[in-house]
Amino acid sequence: MSKRIIFITGSSRGIGKAVTVHFLTYSPQDLVVGTARTAPDESWAKANFIGIQEDLSDLEGCENTMKHWTQIVEDNATASLVFINNAGRLGEIEPSFHVPAADLAKTIFLNMTAPMILQNYLVSLAVAKNIPLEVVNISSGAAKHEYYGWSGYCSTKAGFLMASQVLALEISQLHHPVKVWNLAPGVVNTAMQDEIRSRTPEQFAEVERFKALYAEGKLRSPESVATFIDKALGNEKFQNGGFYDIRDLEH
């Protein structure tokens, strides 16, 4: 029996990749399930890893992923489930009225619709199978603060935070060990930050601040976020429905 089945979305890059590598390295007793648009790293071909190649920016990809996850839970006895709900995109960095409709629609689906579908599904599955579940949604300070040029990102992060808090409220009425909470990891050194720093002030008004954070070595590593998540899992300090900014927890 696996100690836990750990589902991770966006597992091919950034925080999702770091979390996947962390659990494969330090938790050989857990079954790690990574879902991403691209094929998994060949070095992850281990007995405790399952890679799923699906695009979560459309409904078909979500439906296929849920089918895979159902089969995995059916085939593997486990003490508990964990979901690191990480996949997302920044979208076009432009004033709202310059963002193409297709790009905005893709951002809304990947950042809000898909994670709602997947977390709702796993809660339903956990309750039906009588398996404890902990969901960690990778959120952002942008869920609570507006940024010039980030209309799609800010809006979807805020909308999904509310959706997860509603779900947490509903979970509180269940007599079942399910917990959903949200983590803003701060400014992390990922490809998303490279994209942000490449923009002009006309596209993103705060670009110089993000360039300064990079130049001063103030970006957090994805690996440190993965370690933080590992230590936070099962910790009662992180309550159902909570929103936690990693920067606030360091003081």
Of 26, 121, 147, 153, the active-site residue reads 153
Helix (H, G, I), strand (E, B) or coil at 25: helix
| CA 85 to mean position of chain CA atoms | 3
Quick one: CA dihedral 94, 95, 98, 99, positive or negative? positive
Residue type, 74: E
Amino acid type, 73? V
CB 230 within 8 A of CB 23: yes
Of 187, 207, 189, which is closest to residue 197 (Cα–Cα)? 207
Q: Are 238 and 232 in contact (CB under 8 A)?
A: yes
Using the structure block, give the residue that is written with the tokens 């405790």. 48
Active site residue 148: no
What is the set of active-site residues?
153
